[in-house]
Amino acid sequence: MKAVHFGAGNIGRGFVGLLLHDAGYEVVFADVAEELINRLRGADSYAVHEVGENPAVRTVDNFRALNSNAQEAELVAEIATADIVTTAVGPHILKFVAPVIAKGIVAREPGLAPLQVMACENAINATDILAKEVASQPGVTAAVLDGKAVFANTAVDRIVPNQEAGQGLDVTVETFYEWVIDRTAFGDSAPVIPGATFVDDLSPYIERKLFTVNTGHASAAYLGFEAGLEKISDAMADQDVAEDVRAVLEETKQLLVAKHGFSNDEQEAYVQKILVRFSNPYLPDTVNRVGRAPLRKLSRHERFIGPAAELAERGVVPEALLGAIASALRFTDPADAEATELAGILGSASPADATARITGLEPGHPLFSAVATLVEERQAEMASTPA
């Protein structure tokens, strides 16, 4: 069995690659980072260090690596004969990997089982986004895809920080993991991945993951950044930050319980577990990594505006989420292109225009004016602070 996995970064090596390896797949990593590809080519195995409660070291072998920019023909041939394609490249990168995936699908011999495609990104229904991109490639029609590929949405959860320089291919991860996959996409032929959970309705799981783990995580990052802290575990050790994160998760709990029918106790247990995960002192995770790409995180259906908008539509003022959004507007990182772009929008547009551009909220939406007020406050702060 062979899997082609796009993105040999943190989650690619530390989670998706590991679970596919443990399920018996040979993994062909495809990435654009030449140095990383060369390292993978030169190694027989790498180690995944699971840190926290019940630490363990796992070994991944039986992999190869291709440069997806420089070795397109080879990659097409691999995809044409693979069982599974997965991605962990970032939601905005899916459009760049779609063309080669489409070519690989077109090149599959008739009679082969359909390629099983799963995007493992933090976004609601990321595989649908990828499927749409694949279907829009030249020469690809619904008839071409029919019988040659199936696309399944998934929710992936494991905190994998940026890795220390000098660590080579080895990855430090938390012990917890969860990979929930939409079973319905596969008919009777779902892949056997012992570490994954297959469900008939993914939407409650994917929203619960994004609006609890990622909303809480990003809140800790932006509130922690504002408090001058670098590590997520240090942010969680700050009583004010921890209380604010807890209040944010109380609000998303209210939404998730009402919308998806999770019991209050079940959701509370999920929240408690997550707070412990964020506080893991052995995990060298930073506010800059978790706060990365603030424009993506502040977009319409993402971890802040998504739940806050739904709460506002239900007549609830999401005070704690608004507090976290205010902190997100203050996030700066010269190395982060989206943080720079965010500052540019705040510095040049009117409060209403900036709010619409940053969040995608419509001016008539019940959340709009509350966010516009935060934007205006941030703009006033920026105007009074020397550059």
Ligand X SMILES: NC(=O)c1ccc[n+]([C@@H]2O[C@H](COP(=O)([O-])OP(=O)(O)OC[C@H]3O[C@@H](n4cnc5c(N)ncnc54)[C@H](O)[C@@H]3O)[C@@H](O)[C@H]2O)c1
Ligand Y SMILES: O=P(O)(O)OC[C@@H](O)[C@@H](O)[C@H](O)[C@H](O)CO
Question: Of residues 47-86, which lie at the interface with ligand X (CB under 6 A)?
Answer: 68
Query: By CB under 6 A, which span of 43-51, 54-62, 151-159, 366-374 interacts with ligand X?
Result: 151-159
Binds ligand Y (CB under 6 A): choice among 19, 48, 97, 213: 213
The verdict on 8 binding ligand X (CB under 6 A) reads yes
Q: How many CB atoms lie within 10 A of CB 48?
A: 21
**Long-range contact pairs involving 342-347 (C-beta distance under 8 Å, separation at least 24):** 342/294, 342/295, 342/298, 343/382, 346/375, 346/378, 346/379, 346/382, 347/379, 347/382
The verdict on 214 binding ligand Y (CB under 6 A) reads yes
Distance CA 290, CA 275 (A): 15
CB of 258 to ligand X, least distance (A): 26
Q: x/- site string to ligand Y, residues 96 to 125, per CB under 6 A?
A: --------------------------x---
Question: Which listed option, ligand Y, ligand X, none, makes contact with residue 204 (CB within 5 to 8 Å by class)?
Answer: none
Q: How many CB atoms lie within 10 A of CB 56?
A: 9
CB of 283 to ligand Y, least distance (A): 9
Starting at the edge strand found earlier in the chain, the sheet holding 45-51 runs 56-61, 45-51, 171-174
Helix/strand/coil for 162: coil
Size of the site for ligand Y (CB under 6 A): 11
The verdict on 316 binding ligand X (CB under 6 A) reads no
- Please give the torsion angle defined by the CA atoms of residues 223, 227, 228 and 232, in that order, rounded to the nearest 10 degrees: -50
Question: Which listed option, ligand Y, ligand X, none, makes contact with residue 217 (CB within 5 to 8 Å by class)?
Answer: ligand Y
Question: Which listed option, ligand Y, ligand X, none, makes contact with residue 32 (CB within 5 to 8 Å by class)?
Answer: ligand X
DSSP class per residue in 340-364: HHHHHHHHHS-HHHHHHHHH---TT
C-alpha distances in Å from residue 129, one per residue of 40, 87, 93, 159, 298: 28, 12, 11, 23, 18
7 in a known ligand binding site:
yes
The verdict on 295 binding ligand X (CB under 6 A) reads no
The verdict on 122 binding ligand X (CB under 6 A) reads yes
Query: By CB under 6 A, which span of 52-60, 156-164, 196-204, 315-323 interacts with ligand X?
Result: 156-164
The verdict on 30 binding ligand X (CB under 6 A) reads yes
**Long-range contact pairs involving 335-340 (C-beta distance under 8 Å, separation at least 24):** 335/288, 336/288, 336/291, 336/292, 336/293, 336/294, 338/292, 338/293, 338/294, 338/295, 338/296, 339/294
Query: By CB under 6 A, which span of 27-35, 75-83, 138-146, 236-244 interacts with ligand X?
Result: 27-35
Helix/strand/coil for 47: strand
Binds ligand X (CB under 6 A): choice among 3, 4, 5, 12: 12
Distance CA 9, CA 160 (A): 9
C-alpha distances in Å from residue 76, one per residue of 28, 29, 142: 12, 13, 19
Start-end of H helices in 187-238: 203-208, 215-226, 232-237
Query: By CB under 6 A, which span of 52-60, 68-76, 154-162, 249-257 interacts with ligand Y?
Result: 154-162
Q: Partners of 66 in the beta sheet?
A: 30
Binds ligand Y (CB under 6 A): choice among 293, 308, 311, 321: 293
Binds ligand X (CB under 6 A): choice among 3, 4, 5, 7: 7
Query: By CB under 6 A, which span of 16-24, 25-33, 53-61, 209-217 interacts with ligand Y?
Result: 209-217
Question: Which listed option, ligand X, ligand Y, none, makes contact with residue 251 (CB within 5 to 8 Å by class)?
Answer: none
Query: By CB under 6 A, which span of 28-36, 58-66, 184-192, 253-261 interacts with ligand X?
Result: 28-36
Binds ligand Y (CB under 6 A): choice among 290, 308, 322, 374: 290
Applying CB under 6 A, the residues found at the interface with ligand Y are 122, 157-159, 213-214, 217-218, 290, 292-293
Binding residues: 3-14
Applying CB under 6 A, the residues found at the interface with ligand X are 6-12, 30-33, 36, 68, 88-91, 93, 96-97, 121-122, 156, 158-160
Binding residues for NAD(+): 3-14
